[in-house]
Amino acid sequence: MTHIKNNFINKIIKHAILKNPNCKIRTRFPPEPNGYLHIGHAKSIYLNFNIATKYNGICHLRFDDTNPKKEHVKYINAIKKDIKWLGFDCYKNPKYTSNYFPQLYQYAIQLIQNNLAYVDELNTQEIKNYRGSLTKKGTNSPFRNRSIKENLILFEKMKNGMFAQGAMCLRAKINMKSPYIILRDPVLYRIIYSEHHQTKNEWCIYPMYDFAHCIVDALEKITHSLCTLEFMDNRQLYIWILKKLNFIQKPPKQYEFSKLNLEYTILSKRKIQKLIDCKLVDGWGDPRLHTISGLRNKGYTKNSIKMFCQKIGVTKQQNMIELSLLESCIRKDLNMTSPRRMAVINPIKIIITNIDKDHLEYLDAPNHPNIKEMGTRKIIFSNEIYIEREDFYEHVIKNYKGLVLGEKVRLKYAYTIQANKILKNANNEISCILCTLDLYKEKKLQQPIKKYNIIHWISTKNSIKAQFQLFDVLFKSKDIDQEKDIIEAYNPNSCIIKIGYVESITDHEHVKHAYQFERIGYFLKINKNNQCNTIFNRIVSLKNKYKTFIKSN
Ligand code: ATP
Ligand code: MG
């Protein structure tokens, strides 16, 4: 499982071990429990966990729970479930930043005592205005020069709930003129009156991420703190805090890598929450989302997600990964394990006029084209069958793949038929095609396969009605961050439901995972709201289709 490409982080770690062979590698995966995990998080956990495993180290799962306003225990449970499903065992012994609140409070006092932190009374907007910008230096807060004693008293009062939310905060005393804006007296603690999912009402002051993260990394003896590139400048503060608090013996070091961006989707929890609030998706586990639960519900396997993480690698370059790469991973994983079946998702009926109405014939069909051990099954052939509407053409068109009126087509694993006549309903839609079976009398003399197109089909006597959920990308745009309005970019056809037929054998079979319905894709049978209807999710089609998708929209 530890197939890590030789990325730059791997090189850094190899070097660390070379320098100090006794060095025990420790990494951590630190999700904030304010949403569900997505495939970007999978990239991060795959990296952190596999680096630790490869070098005989440890990877902690640490809930970065410093903001009770946005966090919830339901997200903790969902995150643990996803990590367990992905097969990383760090879910068994999770850590919480909130476990360290007492120590963090003491470290804050230590900074105050060393005249390195002060209680400020500016409000959020004022702090922002005083901070300046990349081109304008910041100015000191009028509260910056309080005495150490006064700061200690005020900070204790903050802790004891004697001030309103937002009335005061604790700030590091660094340099309001630093070229790194993050070092212009960053806020370390703020007052929040919300119940915390772990510590309940014990605290009303909460540390900021930048203050807590580096200290907890040091307390947990993390060696390599791997995060994404937007934290590059924060590294200055990470180093400053650890130095000022005297974590000088082998302090943890932060390294940054680029975030995963994936075409046609969004991966930010905040934006996913917006989609949920606007009811554009049905919760965090909607199969159209690239959350871990969404992918799982759609039918993705953990192996396919890991294969994807392995293929994308880890670099410092910002880029956009093609969705087709993720899809090629799930196709590859399902190809070898999925039994083949036939299903018709947009049916049109064919009546074969030159065989008996009660004709019933059992034909052998292989369960897998390349794996003999998967055996064969019997499929029924009779005078009435369904084929896909899209496989029938009244007139010849260029590169047609199916059956044309007046011509012949081969039914997979069965015979050749010729379309002779179409019947239409009152709306002038084709309701039925009358065909004749080719060479029926000499039925063993089948036509050479190559001569005709081959299509899938299903006998009306062998089929059960089924619902097929055909998913498409959630957005019409490759790069959603470039779109002003994500609602505008939403693809209204991102879930199309079809009613068709599937071989009845699928109804009573115990499926290990997915089926490949020949010519249409890989499908997962699901139970929706305990209805007994047969419902299938399309996990992925058989071919990459995104280029045509964009053109046709
Ligand atoms: P989001 O923007 O989705 O809310 P986040 O970074 O705020 O992401 P966290 O819960 O703080 O989410 O993330 C936990 C870890 O996962 C962090 O180390 C973070 O850098 C990493 N991570 C988050 N999104 C991605 C991504 N798209 N690609 C790679 N790593 C990611
Ligand atoms: Mg975050």
Distance CA 330, CA 73 (A): 31
DSSP letter at 290 equals -
Cβ contacts of residue 202 below 8 Å, gap of 6+? 101, 196
Burial (CB count within 10 angstroms: exposed 0-12, middle 13-18, buried 19+), residue 219: middle
196 lines ligand 1 (CB under 6 A): no
Instruction: Quote the CA–CA distance of 339 and 517 in Å, as a whole number.
Output: 9
Q: Say whether pLDDT at 236 is over 80.
A: yes
The 3-state DSSP composition of the chain as helix, strand, coil percent (nearest 5) reads 30, 25, 45
Is the pLDDT at 210 greater than 70? The verdict is yes
Give the Cα-Cα-Cα angle 513, 518, 521 (nearest 5 degrees).
Answer: 60
Share of the chain above pLDDT 70, in %: 93
pLDDT at 74 over 60: yes
Give the global pTM: 0.94
Q: Is the CB of 380 under 6 A from ligand 1?
A: no
Q: Around Cβ 156, how many Cβ atoms within 10 Å?
A: 14
Give the model confidence (pLDDT) of 392-414 as tens digits: 999 988 888 899 999 999 999 99
Residue 392's CB: how many other CB atoms inside 10 A?
20
Report the nearest-CA residue for atom 23 of ligand 1. Answer: 41
Could you report the per-residue pLDDT of 333-384, keeping only the tens digit for each?
999 999 999 999 999 999 999 999 999 999 999 999 999 999 999 999 999 9
Sketch out the chain's domains with CATH numbers: 101-209 (3.90.800.10), 340-552 (2.40.240.10)
Scanning the structure block, which residue is given the tokens 């909460």?
A: 206
451 DSSP 8-state letter: G
**Distance between CA atoms of 17 and 35, rounded to whole angstroms?**
36
pLDDT score recorded for residue 543: 87
Whether residue 494 is predicted with pLDDT greater than 70 in this model: the reply is: yes
Distance 84 CA to ligand 2 centre (A): 21
* Whether residue 33 has its Cβ less than 6 Å from ligand 1: no
Q: Whose CA is nearest to atom 9 of ligand 1?
A: 31
Taking the centre of ligand 1 as the mean of its atom positions, its distance from the CA of residue 44, in whole angstroms, is 8
Q: Is the CB of 259 under 6 A from ligand 1?
A: yes
The secondary structure of residue 373, as a DSSP letter, is: G
Average pLDDT over residues 110-139: 97
Q: What is the per-residue DSSP string for 35-102?
A: S--BHHHHHHHHHHHHHHHHTT-EEEEEE----TTT--HHHHHHHHHHHHHHT-GGGGS-EEGGGGHH
Residue 527 is predicted with a pLDDT of 77
- Of ligand 1's atoms, which has the minimum distance to the CA of residue 270? 4
Who contacts 35 (Cβ-Cβ below 8 Å, separation ≥6)?
A: 75, 269, 270, 272, 273, 284
Distance 262 CA to ligand 1 centre (A): 14
For a mutational test of ligand 1's pocket, the pick from 34, 38, 44, i.e. the residue with the most ligand atoms closer than 8 A to its C-beta, is: 44
Q: Which pair of structure tokens corresponds to residue 150?
A: 């006064």
Q: Is the CB of 267 under 6 A from ligand 1?
A: yes
The answer to whether the CB of 66 is under 6 A from ligand 1 is no
- Tell me the pLDDT of the chain averaged across its residues: 93
* Cα–Cα distance for residue pair 435/69, rounded to 1 Å: 67
Strand order across the beta sheet in which 521-526 lies:
340-341, 515-517, 521-526, 535-540, 463-471, 495-503, 343-344
Distance of CA 66 to the CA centre of its chain: 24
User: How many CB atoms are closer than 10 A to CB 146?
Assistant: 18
Q: How far is the CA of 447 from the centre of ligand 2 (A)?
A: 63
Contact status, residue 27 vs residue 59, Cβ threshold 8 Å: yes
Q: How far apart are CA 493 and CA 256, in angstroms?
A: 37
* Per-residue DSSP letter, 460: T
Q: Would the CB of 41 count as within 6 Å of ligand 1?
A: yes
Taking alpha carbons only, the member of 333, 338, 379, 337 closest to residue 360 is 379
User: Which ligand number lies closest to the CA of residue 35?
Assistant: 1
Distance 65 CA to ligand 2 centre (A): 10
In 346-415, which ranges are E strands? 347-352, 361-366, 376-381, 384-388, 392-393, 403-404, 408-411
Binding site membership of 26 for ligand 1 (Cβ less than 6 Å): no
pLDDT of 5 > 80? The answer is: no
Ligand nearest to the CA of 230: 1
